[in-house]
Structure 1
Amino acid sequence: MPKHKPTSGPIPPVKKQHSVMTLEEKVTSQVSDIPLVKVEKALNIWVEDMNQKHVPIDGNMLREKAPSLYDQFKSEVPEAKASTSSKKSFKASAGWLNSFRKHFNLKNIRFTGESATVEEAAARVFPEEFRKLIKENG
């Protein structure tokens, strides 16, 4: 077992970096696709609005809405500020949706619309089924 030698003397001070960046500068220096940032902020506001109105939304709705917002925001960015990634088209993939959900801590948004579709179909059939049950059982 190696033995640790006690340090003799004071601990040297930690060197400070001369260039200090604010949090905003750090974030903007790492973001290369300005329209995508705007899309994600706008979608998050929309999700919050839908939640307040108790309107159910799913991942497919977000994936459908994102590309049109991206095209809208992309047209607003001047060519000088447009990055090479913003010149490409944007695809709201499942991976993008997963990252978006994690970034904005959205846990209640479904990935697919399948369960919502099944619930809607059951809701349409229910009144007729309910009438039959009442008629049969009194």
Structure 2
Amino acid sequence: MDEKMDIIDEIVKRTDATYKEAKEAYEKSDEDLLNAIIYLEEKKGKKTHSDDDVLEELKKLVKEVNASKIIVKKDEETIINLPITAGAIGLVLAPLLSIGGLTVAMLSKYEVIIIAKDGTKYNLNKKFEDSIKKYSDS
């Protein structure tokens, strides 16, 4: 029993799986450690966007470009056009709602644009996709 637990611990450590997922993978792979890890990697597939990822990317971009506005568009129609201060206040007062809204907007093919004080436009969707690709390639 201890040996099996050690192997499941190793699977959890290497894959970030839950103990239940690790046990299931281990049993489905005929109790082979390497095959269990491969099974979990294939099962998890591509990483999804998390709210924390969106928040970090937004903070980084706002800081980098000294942003003045946040614009959300769908098919070239402007849905939201907020000064950065209003967006920041919303983020402080309702962080989960703000982050969740941004995540849903990005996943629903809305375009999120940050406008710098010098007028330069930064597409948050593109920047976020590039950073996700960078993490998944490494």
Give the TM interval when normalised to the shorter protein. under 0.3
Structure ranking higher in strand proportion: 2
When the two structures are superposed, what TM-score results if normalisation uses the length of structure 2? Answer: 0.24
**Bigger radius of gyration:** 1
Relative contact order (C-alpha < 8 Å, sep 6+): which is higher? 1
